[in-house]
């Protein structure tokens, strides 16, 4: 019994960043900051981590999902900026009816499947683009006002987001 509790405590300590993030998400979703809301969020985060470790993952989230808290924060802030800029850029095209929709094939420089999935989902979150297919590092993107034939098809990818993920991928590969 002592070993079980010791392992459970070790899992909680190893995943403290995830517990904090989940608690913050809980508070944000409830749209009010109060001590009871935060404590219930903290309890739910602990239960989620314990359940996931017991039945699903068997290990540290960062090792399983490979995304550190710093990279996740940097990526999230950059994604919000990309969404705002793309939204402002797309609005005049939609209002004037000058939107030309095409499916563009492009390839990301990422090699890790999880990071490619994150990038593909980020493309879909960015106004004016939707990832319609992913095969390895090849993406097919439905794009509003897509780049022309003489332009780089990778222009539909938010390149600064890809850059953050590339740096993280290189850092992880350097440790392996």
Q: How far apart are CA 171 and CA 176, in angstroms?
A: 9
Contact 140, 104 (CB under 8 A): yes
The closest alpha carbon to 82, from 168, 143, 161, 152, belongs to 161
Put the strands of the sheet holding 138-144 in their side by side order: 101-107, 138-144, 129-135
Q: How far apart are CA 10 and CA 16, in angstroms?
A: 10
Q: What is the largest CA-CA distance in the chain?
A: 68
Query: Digits of tens for pLDDT over the chain (176 positions)?
Result: 778 788 888 878 888 888 998 999 999 999 888 999 999 999 999 999 888 877 776 655 555 565 777 888 899 999 999 999 999 988 888 888 887 888 989 999 999 888 899 999 999 999 989 999 999 999 999 988 777 777 888 888 888 999 999 998 888 777 65
Q: Tokens for 70? A: 């710093």
Q: Look at the block and give the residue holding tokens 């919000």.
A: 80
């Amino acid at each position: 019994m002592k070993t079980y509790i010791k392992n459970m405590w070790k899992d909680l300590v190893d995943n403290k960043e995830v517990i904090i993030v989940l608690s913050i998400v809980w508070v944000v979703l409830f749209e009010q900051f109060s001590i009871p809301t935060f404590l219930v969020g903290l309890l739910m985060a602990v239960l989620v981590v314990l359940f996931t470790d017991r039945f699903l993952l068997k290990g540290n989230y960062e090792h399983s999902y490979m995304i550190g808290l710093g990279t996740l924060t940097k990526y999230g802030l950059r994604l919000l900026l990309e969404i705002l800029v793309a939204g402002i850029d797309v609005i005049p095209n939609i209002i004037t009816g000058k939107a030309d929709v095409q499916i563009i094939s492009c390839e990301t420089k990422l090699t890790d499947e999880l990071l490619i999935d994150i990038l593909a989902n980020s493309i879909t979150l960015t106004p004016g683009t939707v990832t319609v297919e992913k095969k390895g590092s090849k993406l097919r993107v439905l794009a509003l006002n897509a780049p022309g034939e003489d332009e780089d098809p990778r222009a539909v990818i938010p390149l600064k987001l890809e850059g953050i993920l590339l740096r993280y991928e290189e850092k992880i590969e350097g440790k392996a």
